[in-house]
A = this chain, B = another copy of it.
Amino acid sequence: MSAGLDRIDLKMLRLLQKNGRLTNAELASLADVSPATCHRRTQRLFDDGYIKTVRAMVQPQMVDRAALVMVGVVLDRSTPESFAQFEQAVSKLSFILDCNLVAGDFDYFLKIRVRDMADFNRIHGSQLIALPGVRQTRTFFVMKEVVDNAPLDF
């Protein structure tokens, strides 16, 4: 698997992914190492970039972002400049959770969270179709979230 990670590192990564609030003492106990070693190893996992951040997963419904929408986007032209312009504009829209350049019938796929359908319609009309170089969008309203942002399995 990944160079530089032994069995203990992997165990710690999995534990921290499941529960980022484990204290160093708890993690040490679960990973069968001393608190001192655990502390050093955890620091290394952060310093070397194995863990990007630790994030509290806020329940969307609780902060009025219950509606999830997937949007396929086709651009006018498939030039690097067109792509770059689109991507730069997308990065400034905070309601866009995912934006991926894909191979297939679309150029980009967006994952968007908003308050409700009315909110999405407003945003679609005013901000999405106004993104640079957009020829066409196809909207897929999410009716049921079966799996949402599952932890990485490794």
Q: How far is the CA of A104 from the CA of B105 in the complex (A)?
A: 15
Contact B147 A97 (CB under 8 A): yes
Chain A: interface residue count, which band?
Answer: 35 or more
Q: Residues 83-120 of chain A: 1 if any B CB is under 8 Å from the residue's CB, otherwise 0?
A: 00001001100111111111111101101010000000
Q: Which residues of A contact B (CB under 8 A)?
A: 1-2, 5, 10, 13, 16-21, 49-60, 62-65, 68, 70, 87, 90-91, 94-106, 108-109, 111, 113, 138-154
Query: With A and B bound together, what is the CA distance between A109 and B58 in angstroms?
Result: 22
Would you call B150 and A97 a contact (CB within 8 A)? yes
**B147 lies within 8 A of A56 (CB):** no
- List 24 A–B pairs whose Cβ atoms lie within 8 Å, in order of A's numbering: A2-B63, A10-B63, A50-B59, A51-B58, A52-B59, A53-B57, A54-B54, A54-B56, A55-B151, A58-B152, A58-B154, A70-B102, A87-B146, A94-B153, A97-B150, A98-B149, A99-B146, A100-B142, A100-B145, A102-B143, A103-B140, A103-B143, A104-B141, A149-B149
